[in-house]
């Protein structure tokens, strides 16, 4: 992959100094935006110290992270970046301890490292990372503000704004000895564009799609975005890094295959009932936990009567569902089976055999539990929709047996939209 990056920082129209700090290091593939806070120039010192600590740790650790086995490289990058932001937290916290005039110094931080076709994110605070893919702009990072936390927990925006200050942080780098750091690893595709920015910019763009026209040309995007923020008030410092991902000609065929597979996986995930309501960022989290394998025709993926701890999704190919040697159903691309295996050790009720070569995506119990622990809202959405699905299946079984039939169907009939209740964490206006 080839990355093109452009950056701009501006004091804005109301501030005397610039407490933002940013870094563009194409050699490391490292891009960082920090927004400092604290009196007596503590914010400016904190943001710059955080950037320096991150650069030092990534410079020292990147060779080792890049040398691990390919299937562990993404996790190694995430661990490295988490460690780097943790080092930044220790450095900024020490500044506040050593100099009483800078007590409480802190900074937000959004750090991105790109290696090949993989991006790793580490994030604290309300600086942001956006991903523009296929014409759609997605906010990838979650704001660590009390307002954002209330919105994620189901409060309406109108109600939340009435009671909660919009810029009060729930997490920051430096004020406390330890900080909880969000990390995310995701695949990059040719044509992707990314934007890191401070709240001095995104505060003037309520909805992510408003940013799309500004990203048409990455070379001029930072300048145009800064100008727009100043035109709309310029109340705060403004910093932005814009990036564009392209293929090197020598790797274009491999990138084309990756593009197909990543797109295929995300499309399959977005169509699964138990994953409906997930944001794009949450889908990327799930996609990062998936394993992919090519399975030859005639392979029994799971067997009737045997226990399993894996949820399967058919990305390509077809499979059959059989019970007692009798074919019950045929599964096409986008179909899935085994979601209850993530929650129970009950034996499988049927055998699934591939009818042709299939690419299967699998999510194991071991992989999904850390996702749930890290993102409880994702867990509630999944469990809520799983509960809805099982309730509908129970109703279907009852109706089937009441009609005097001997066995219930193995697939749910299509239900009306008004029969499905959204989880308490679904997005509300």
What local confidence, expressed as pLDDT, does residue 219 receive?
97
User: How much is the mean pLDDT over the chain?
Assistant: 89
420-425 long-range CB contacts below 8 Å, 24 or more apart?
420/388, 421/388, 422/277, 423/277, 423/380, 423/381, 423/384, 423/385, 424/153, 424/154, 424/380, 424/384, 425/152, 425/153, 425/154, 425/277, 425/377, 425/380, 425/381, 425/384
Q: 57 versus 259: which is more confidently predicted?
A: 57
Classify residue 38 by its DSSP letter. Answer: -
| Per-residue pLDDT tens over the stretch 342-401 | 988 889 989 999 999 999 999 999 999 988 988 888 998 898 888 888 887 777 777 767
CATH H-level superfamily of 257-419: Jelly Rolls (2.60.120.10)
What's 2-246's CATH class?
alpha beta
What is the pTM for the complete model shown? 0.87
How does residue 429 score in pLDDT terms, banded at 50, 70 and 90? very low
| Per-residue pLDDT tens over the stretch 55-79 | 999 999 999 998 888 878 888 999 9
| Per-residue pLDDT tens over the stretch 103-157 | 889 999 999 999 988 999 999 999 999 999 999 999 999 999 999 988 887 788 8
Domain locations in the chain as residue ranges: 2-246, 257-419
How does residue 260 score in pLDDT terms, banded at 50, 70 and 90? confident
Could you give the CA distance from residue 172 to residue 220 in angstroms, rounded to a whole number? Answer: 30
């Amino acid at each position: 992959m080839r990355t093109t990056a452009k950056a701009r920082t501006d004091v804005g129209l109301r501030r005397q100094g610039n407490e933002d700090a940013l870094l563009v290091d194409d050699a490391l593939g490292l891009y960082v935006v920090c927004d400092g806070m604290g009196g007596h120039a503590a914010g400016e010192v904190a943001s710059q110290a955080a950037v320096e600590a991150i650069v030092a740790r990534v410079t020292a650790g990147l060779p080792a992270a890049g040398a691990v086995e390919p299937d562990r490289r993404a996790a190694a990058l995430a661990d490295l970046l988490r460690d780097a932001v943790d080092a930044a937290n220790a450095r900024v916290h020490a500044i506040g301890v050593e100099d009483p005039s800078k007590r409480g110094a802190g900074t937000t931080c959004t750090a991105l490292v790109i290696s090949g076709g993989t991006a790793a994110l580490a994030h604290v605070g309300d600086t942001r990372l956006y991903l523009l893919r296929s014409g759609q702009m997605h906010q990838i990072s979650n704001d660590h503000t009390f307002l954002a936390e209330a919105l994620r927990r189901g409060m309406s925006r109108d109600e939340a704004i009435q009671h909660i200050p919009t810029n009060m942080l729930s997490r920051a780098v430096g004020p406390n000895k330890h900080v909880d750091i969000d990390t995310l690893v995701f695949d990059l595709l040719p044509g992707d564009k990314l934007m890191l920015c401070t709240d001095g910019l995104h505060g003037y763009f309520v909805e992510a799609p408003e940013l799309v026209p500004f990203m048409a040309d990455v070379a001029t995007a930072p300048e145009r975005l800064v100008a727009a923020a100043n035109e709309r008030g310029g109340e705060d410092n403004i910093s932005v890094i814009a990036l564009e991902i392209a293929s090197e000609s020598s790797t274009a065929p491999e990138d084309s295959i990756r593009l197909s597979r990543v797109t295929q996986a995300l499309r399959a995930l977005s169509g699964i009932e138990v994953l409906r309501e997930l944001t794009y960022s949450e889908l990327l989290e799930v996609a990062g936990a998936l394993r992919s394998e090519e399975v030859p025709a005639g392979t029994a993926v799971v067997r009737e009567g045997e226990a399993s701890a894996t949820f399967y999704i058919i990305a390509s190919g077809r499979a059959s569902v059989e019970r007692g040697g009798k074919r019950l159903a045929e599964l096409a691309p986008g179909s899935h089976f085994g979601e209850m295996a993530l929650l129970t050790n009950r034996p499988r009720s049927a055998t699934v055999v591939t009818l042709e070569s299939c690419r299967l995506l699998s999510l194991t119990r071991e992989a999904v539990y850390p996702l749930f622990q890290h993102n409880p809202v994702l867990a509630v959405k999944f469990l809520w929709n799983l509960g809805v699905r099982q309730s509908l299946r129970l109703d279907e079984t009852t109706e089937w047996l009441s009609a005097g039939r001997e066995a219930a169907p193995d697939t749910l009939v299509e239900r009306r939209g008004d029969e499905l209740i959204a989880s308490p964490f679904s997005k509300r206006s």
